[in-house]
Structure 1
Amino acid sequence: MSRANEHRVEAGGRLDEPCARRRKEIAEAIRRAGGINSHPVTHNAEEDLLWGAMVAKLNALHPRVASSRYLQAKERLPLPVSHTPRIDDLGRRLDNLTGFRLLPVDGLAPAGDFYGRFADDVFSTTMYLRCPGRPHYSPEPDMLHELVGHVVMLADPLFADLYRLFGKAANNATSEQDLQAISQVFWFTMETGLVQEDGRPKAYGAALLSSSGELAKIGTCSVEKFSIQEMIKSDYDISTYQGKLFIAQSVDEMADEVRSFLTRA
């Protein structure tokens, strides 16, 4: 299933009943009391334990597999391990770093809305966690994906500027085809991008960096040379581990190519 037309698509089968019920509770709390840099949800002890276990596992993996740019961003915006973060606190800290703020959302957002908010320095974040039965990978964007992946990236000025450009390009798109191309490039860069460092592929994409299962599978993927045109033509499936990734020789090379594409889009 593609995220070309809708960034946040439920995939991977039905949720179990307790997980679905909890997501409904969280959505209702956000609808009642949400807003930019708000914290409308109180997470329970089970959710804190799941968050802590997965963040600790990712923290152990990142020094070996994450790009240096991402690791530096983690130092700028450290996330707690003992409990789920407060969105209001995290949003204020992020705002001080790069001007981005966080908007808790109660459900899946169409691509135009999700990307378009970047132009206003707003990142939309879910507040539910992946189901405990599948902790190492989530086919839909959960709180681990949003915060460990995207929000940490947004603490870096270069990545923050790229997100803004994606937002402006999405807002200026005049057809579904144009928006689909923007979404494809976002997927193969900001979600699943690799960069060459120290003679090895290192991850900078949020979907990779927030999934211990995905990180463990990088060595089995087909890795292709960075190409915007190939990204636009390539299929992908968000309901399973990725089969194709694109690698840039440096973050600067990636950023230059993405800027050139988005200013033409």
Structure 2
Amino acid sequence: MLTRDLIAPRNADWTIPQNWERFMPAEHAVWDTLFARQSAALQGRAVREFFQGLDVLRLSRPGIPDFDELNERLFARTGWTIVSVPGLVPNEVFFAHLSRRRFPAGNFIRAADSLDYIEQPDVFHDVFGHVPLLAQPAVADFMQAMGAAGLAAMKAGALHRLARLYWYSVEFGLALEDGAPRIYGAGLLSSFGESRFALDSPEPRRRLFDLRRVLRTRYRSDAFQQGYFVIPGFDALLRLLEDNDLDELYGELDEEPDLNP
């Protein structure tokens, strides 16, 4: 979500053709390696809805997904589509896409010698991490609402607050399932190391989700998280945005100090 300086492509919305046929066998092999490893690692760790999404969208088929085929199945489920972009995009472009039920996915995949970490999110993070849950109506509606909330936060000068909500939910969120925390955040779903750390390590704090605390809590993008927030279920996500006046909260929190995780 957060961006660096990039040269914009010709389209004003930063979209580019996927040109799926240009991916080389070695690139498809990287996807297959990551998919097999991560699917096994997430057994008993990810929420059930994640695996349901893999199944209904047929993401287990070999190779990097062809977005034309993927979008037929995803749109039929929740009205979302995946659009191809060169990499990170400006915040206003990113949130505008979300508000229109479009998820931007990087049109590249990491190298075979960089399976565990890349600086920019690639097609594996974006599609494997985010897309399966977009097949769930509650998550699909929440993500669209996040897009509108992001655009509003930019106008209010409060993007840093909204970024924390996105970070601790969409990217690194945990949800209760059968009384135990499970992974639903894309940053965790797509990370071999942190998907274990988030649930098993005694180091990070795991708190029940509290919107005010989340909006006040800093995060780091260059290390495993020091804290995670746990929602009771996906219906609670949308209520976070529907039942709270974020503009009012932003103003109130300007009088309170930020928190470390």
5+ long unaligned stretches in structure 1: 1-5, 11-23
Query: Cα gap change, 1:173/1:257 in structure 2, threshold over 3 Å: closer, same or farther?
Result: closer
Q: CA deviation at 1:35?
A: 8.4
Instruction: State whether structure 2 residue 211 is matched by structure 1 residue 228.
Output: yes
Instruction: State whether structure 2 residue 243 is matched by structure 1 residue 260.
Output: yes
Q: Is the 8 A contact 2:95 2:150 kept in 1?
A: yes
Give the counterpart of 1:202 among 179, 182, 192.
182
Query: Cα gap change, 1:180/1:35 in structure 2, threshold over 3 Å: closer, same or farther?
Result: closer
Write the letter of the residue equivalent to 1:229: R
Give the counterpart of 1:131 among 102, 107, 111.
111
What is the match of residue 51 of structure 1?
A: 31
Instruction: State whether structure 2 residue 19 is matched by structure 1 residue 40.
Output: yes
Write the letter of the residue equivalent to 2:229: F
5+ long unaligned stretches in structure 2: 249-261
Once the two structures are superposed, the pairs formed by residues 63-78 of structure 1 within 5 Å of their partners are: 63-78=43-58
What is the TM-score when the length of structure 2 is the normalising length?
A: 0.82
What is the TM-score when the length of structure 1 is the normalising length?
A: 0.81
Q: Secondary structure at the match of 1:256?
A: helix
Query: Cα gap change, 1:63/1:228 in structure 2, threshold over 3 Å: closer, same or farther?
Result: same
Write the letter of the residue equivalent to 2:242: R
What is the match of residue 146 of structure 1?
A: 126
Q: Which has the higher contact order (CA 8 A, sep 6+)?
A: 1
Instruction: State whether structure 2 residue 95 is matched by structure 1 residue 112.
Output: no
Q: CA deviation at 1:116?
A: 2.0
Q: Secondary structure at the match of 2:193?
A: helix
Q: Is the 8 A contact 1:139 1:240 kept in 2?
A: no
RMSD: 2.8
Q: Is the 8 A contact 2:88 2:120 kept in 1?
A: no
Q: How many residue pairs are counted as aligned between the two chains? A: 243
What is the match of residue 80 of structure 2?
A: 100
Output the CA distance in 1 between the equivalents of 2:45 and 2:72. Answer: 29
What is the match of residue 222 of structure 2?
A: 239
Write the letter of the residue equivalent to 1:205: G
Q: Secondary structure at the match of 1:66?
A: coil
Q: CA deviation at 1:131?
A: 3.0
Deviating above 6 A after TM superposition, structure 1's stretches of 4 or more consecutive aligned residues are 34-37
Output the CA distance in 2 between the equivalents of 1:111 and 1:181. Answer: 14
Q: Is the 8 A contact 2:145 2:238 kept in 1?
A: no
What is the match of residue 171 of structure 2?
A: 191
Output the CA distance in 1 between the equivalents of 2:14 and 2:4. Answer: 22
Query: Cα gap change, 1:36/1:140 in structure 2, threshold over 3 Å: closer, same or farther?
Result: closer
Output the CA distance in 1 between the equivalents of 2:154 and 2:31. Answer: 40
Q: Is the 8 A contact 1:196 1:250 kept in 2?
A: yes
Q: CA deviation at 1:51?
A: 0.6
What is the match of residue 216 of structure 1?
A: 196
Once the two structures are superposed, the pairs formed by residues 173-192 of structure 1 within 5 Å of their partners are: 173=153, 175=155, 177-192=157-172
Q: Is the 8 A contact 1:37 1:101 kept in 2?
A: no
Q: CA deviation at 1:78?
A: 2.2
Output the CA distance in 1 between the equivalents of 2:244 and 2:105. Answer: 26
Query: Cα gap change, 1:174/1:130 in structure 2, threshold over 3 Å: closer, same or farther?
Result: closer
Query: Cα gap change, 1:108/1:229 in structure 2, threshold over 3 Å: closer, same or farther?
Result: same
What is the match of residue 7 of structure 1?
A: 2
Write the letter of the residue equivalent to 1:253: A
Query: Cα gap change, 1:82/1:186 in structure 2, threshold over 3 Å: closer, same or farther?
Result: same
